[in-house]
Structure 1
């Protein structure tokens, strides 16, 4: 099952739908020792798979498949595990009713630690097959309970051995044998042992952890106890009992020891599984246990887990990342997830992640990918909060009151006051003030909404190595340049508008000038045709004989202050219209007019009488 979880990112992700792709690695198996069966660890919750069916199917009697021979050696001893025909016939005569067969069949499947996925196909079998399977199972259980062998020991014997306070090699041998029995026996055997045995195992682990000077054998015994607990909680009953014990999780957290990579690998895998499959308050219990263990060691609570990532063991690195992902992704609240992730970062995970990315291991790559994906999702969700705040709280007073209430009576109130006092010192300059706030807003944005999705390094105590004076001067100069550019752009726009109006006016003027020229040409043509009579409507009709003859004396005439007669004012009976000047015109008359009204009198001019 471990290979299934390590290669399947969705293993164990049904607790929270938001954790798609998470691989907690619930297959908590350790390498089998020489001469021992490989233990199988499965937690029967949600979608967690188990392979106990193979072991259960191996004790089916002949008849389930005609071509399958009878399997006589279930546990390395054919004499202890074979079922004689006489015993089979005796049991067959006792189990006859359908109700009894079905009841025993359900109890058998429960005792074999089968989950619902494995029970479903077995329930579909016919009644005769179920009856034969029940009889075979009862006969086998009778052998294991009554026949003494090197492979079968009653739970009471382990209880007596643990109660006697054995130590050293004898304790280790007892724990080793107990681990095998817890792994291979049915749930009923585990229940029989667990009533008292779980408390004895936890007491043994506490004594071993309490030793100040631990020998090598003590550390091995610690690992054996962890393996026994792992086998014990390989079923629903064992898991519930572990979670029900007050100090069980605390002892497991105390067993997180980077100096013992093999044991620590099993411990962190156990805690990962408990975080995933436990109840809603299980995560709180695990975190409390880790916190208590950290306080006993006087270290940060997540430091041992992060220290395990520095170990050369890739299996330990994978297991630690599984536990980190289980702790970080289990909470439903965003703030809680961010809090736990940032605490891991402050404990040293920030510095280790780049190195882990260079390790070539598929299982580790999956865990790192899960960590990064959930970090990005949480960062995206956190960024959306800013948009919500901008949308719902757009009043300065409302936001200030909210922040003030957030920091009131907390350690942050002093820093908030200091920030406001510094903001009050910003000099009153038209260009500088806005640039001050622009730089401050950018700094706050990068600190609060850090691109890494985690808190900044709070341990950094040096002043920020940024020349804000030069930066401010550059920003102010840039603001002035931008202001000048804006004004230039506005003036250029106005110039373009004025120039366009001027062009239109000139075009209109040119058009008007052309119209004037055309009218003047028409007027000149009219004058040349009709004389000096002004153009206009006249009440006096024009003589059909055309314009009258113009008389020009030889001498210039005096300018008399006479009113000029306008043709428009003449009537048809006017003298100047009806008079015929040609009848009176004569050289003598013209000479007399010139003599009388001329400007000067030419010499030798004779005026006739």
Structure 2
């Protein structure tokens, strides 16, 4: 039902060259597709009134619109009897095939148990298939009670969205699909519109972060807006959108613009459908201009510039509808303002708008009031925080005075308009200060988090350095212990060596020497002080003693070692004793050298 309305709205101002073919999954076909049954299956025994009653029930069950029902009602009673007979036959066969499937009451009982997560998702998917495939009578059995259960579950999911983010969104999307199938007939649509929570819950389900669900939601709301209904359903939808925006503390059309900013083409098309439905159903020019101006102020113009570059037929149709409606409203406004044209696509600047207003009130009775209005605006308090709030309040007051939904002018006899402006301004200023403080608090919180993060990193690094320091101290202590033990070992070895040296000194080491001991003349000369000047080899004559002595053959390493042990390593001795020992050693060496030299000369 609502699919056809939405399709008709989508196809506005489009030329159709041929009719759309029937879908393969259509639930019921037209009367021309019915085959004439045999005589045995006709309702010959029943009166015409009973046949007509069954015929009307058949039309309801087939979910046909008035345009398709009209030619069927014009058929002869005989053809109607045949159609009813075949319908009863096919319905009975279909019922036999679906005996194993769940009934409407079984779904109601299962929803009463309040299933969760995957169990709820499976139940909703099965319910959606049943609502799509079964006739209207099955939907009537599901009825208002089933609808209330679906809406209650949807409300709980929306209230507990933080507890089950992924599964909750899947279940909520499946409920939207169930409502979409439930509303695809007069009974389900009427039940949904009668419900007080139906439209607000659908509006609350507009979520740009879930594009596929938002596509179904905006299409449902678009179909509701364009329905012919005495309650002006587009106003109910707009009211629900406004209330939800006030709860979320943001602009009411911001979710639609966020959806249009997504790359999903179907979502862009659905959002444009809802925008066109809200604007086109407004009977008053002021209302349509107000909605369109609010959308353009929020950034719709820039989005439309990007969307126009997309090659999509359905999207192009919605853009054409939007542009044509804007052009019609511009023409109507031009006629109202006496040839003063205001471009809706490119709003004028402040100076141009002021000039237009001046032209409209110039040389008229309204000019003095306009002048008074300007003079009162000059009296607005000169405060950076307060002035914007004054103008915002004045804008809201003018909008409420000028834009009346009933189309009637306000009561001009009322001379005094009592408003507690100071209280409102103070509240608005306080709110602005709170918002500014909250922004600063958020910024400070970010800085605090950054400082805390840096502090934690430094603490971790300091802890690591302390651990490395303690480990190094332990290593140094271990090395100190090792060095101490090695020092003790060396001291014990030194004591042992000193004892051996003292023992060796006490022995008469000269007894083992041979009679003839030779010592290098270089060592002999170095023992005397002061040192003599060295004579080069080239300065010696051939008859010199040193050229014939060949003193190197008298070198003896054992002698040098014993002399070293005896005379060069004495400790803890007085200076006189040391001098005596050195002179004695020199005397001994000299005597030995002289004896050896004498023997060599002989």
TM-score (norm. length: structure 1): 0.53
Counterpart for residue 252 of structure 1: 202
**Count of aligned positions:** 358
Distance change (3 Å), C-alpha of 1:5 and 1:357 = farther
Counterpart for residue 189 of structure 2: 239
Q: Distance in 1 between matches of 2:112 and 2:321?
A: 45
Counterpart for residue 78 of structure 1: none
Q: 2:10·2:273 contact (CA, 8 Å) conserved in 1?
A: no
Post-superposition offset of 1:61:
5.1
**Post-superposition CA distance 1:566-609 (Å, at most 9, x none):** xxxxxxxxxxxxxxxxxxxxxxxxxxxxxxxxxxxxxxxxxxxx
Q: 1:265·1:315 contact (CA, 8 Å) conserved in 2?
A: yes
Which residue of 58, 71, 75 corresponds with 1:108?
A: 58
Q: Distance in 1 between matches of 2:3 and 2:142?
A: 30
Which residue of 268, 274, 292 corresponds with 1:317?
A: 268
Q: Distance in 1 between matches of 2:31 and 2:165?
A: 40
> Are 2:125 and 1:190 aligned?
no
**Post-superposition CA distance 1:82-107 (Å, at most 9, x none):** xxx9xx95x75684222221221122
- Kindly report which structure 2 residues correspond to 1:150-169, keeping only aligned pairs within 5 A, or say none: 150=100, 152-169=101-118
**Post-superposition CA distance 1:121-177 (Å, at most 9, x none):** 323444333223223323444455577544x32110110011110111111111111
Counterpart for residue 511 of structure 2: none
Post-superposition offset of 1:285:
0.4
Post-superposition offset of 1:56:
7.2
Distance change (3 Å), C-alpha of 1:371 and 1:140 = same
Distance change (3 Å), C-alpha of 1:229 and 1:414 = farther
Distance change (3 Å), C-alpha of 1:57 and 1:192 = farther
Distance change (3 Å), C-alpha of 1:8 and 1:111 = closer
Greater fraction helix: 2
Distance change (3 Å), C-alpha of 1:129 and 1:3 = closer
Relative CO higher for 1 or 2, CA cutoff 8 Å, sep ≥ 6?
A: 1
Which residue of 159, 169, 175 corresponds with 2:124?
A: 175
Post-superposition offset of 1:229:
0.4
Post-superposition offset of 1:111:
2.1
SS for the counterpart of 1:279 is coil
> Are 2:338 and 1:387 aligned?
yes
Q: Which consecutive unaligned segments of at least 5 residues does structure 2 have? A: 341-356, 381-602
Q: Distance in 2 between matches of 1:393 and 1:199?
A: 54
SS for the counterpart of 1:301 is coil
Post-superposition offset of 1:393:
7.8
Which residue of 400, 410, 433 corresponds with 2:367?
A: 400
Q: Distance in 2 between matches of 1:316 and 1:397?
A: 49
> Are 2:301 and 1:350 aligned?
yes
Q: Which consecutive unaligned segments of at least 5 residues does structure 1 have? A: 14-19, 28-36, 41-51, 64-84, 419-609
**Post-superposition CA distance 1:513-532 (Å, at most 9, x none):** xxxxxxxxxxxxxxxxxxxx
Counterpart for residue 149 of structure 2: 200
Distance change (3 Å), C-alpha of 1:302 and 1:160 = same
SS for the counterpart of 1:277 is coil
Counterpart for residue 360 of structure 1: 311
- Kindly report which structure 2 residues correspond to 1:275-290, keeping only aligned pairs within 5 A, or say none: 275-280=225-230, 281-290=232-241
Q: 1:303·1:348 contact (CA, 8 Å) conserved in 2?
A: no
Post-superposition offset of 1:178:
1.0
Distance change (3 Å), C-alpha of 1:284 and 1:4 = closer
Q: Distance in 2 between matches of 1:404 and 1:161?
A: 69
Q: Distance in 1 between matches of 2:9 and 2:154?
A: 33
Q: Distance in 2 between matches of 1:295 and 1:327?
A: 19
> Are 2:274 and 1:340 aligned?
no
Which residue of 121, 125, 136 corresponds with 2:71?
A: 121
CA RMSD of aligned residues (A): 3.6
Q: Distance in 1 between matches of 2:324 and 2:378?
A: 33
Counterpart for residue 377 of structure 2: 415
Distance change (3 Å), C-alpha of 1:184 and 1:288 = same
SS for the counterpart of 1:293 is helix
> Are 2:276 and 1:331 aligned?
no
Q: 1:156·1:193 contact (CA, 8 Å) conserved in 2?
A: yes
Post-superposition offset of 1:55:
7.2
SS for the counterpart of 1:267 is helix
Distance change (3 Å), C-alpha of 1:398 and 1:244 = same
Counterpart for residue 295 of structure 1: 246
Distance change (3 Å), C-alpha of 1:413 and 1:247 = farther
Distance change (3 Å), C-alpha of 1:312 and 1:395 = closer
Post-superposition offset of 1:386:
2.2
Q: 2:269·2:315 contact (CA, 8 Å) conserved in 1?
A: yes
Distance change (3 Å), C-alpha of 1:5 and 1:314 = farther
Q: Distance in 2 between matches of 1:305 and 1:268?
A: 9
Q: Distance in 1 between matches of 2:236 and 2:6?
A: 26
**Post-superposition CA distance 1:293-342 (Å, at most 9, x none):** 22232221110011000111101101111111111121011110011111
Post-superposition offset of 1:348:
2.2
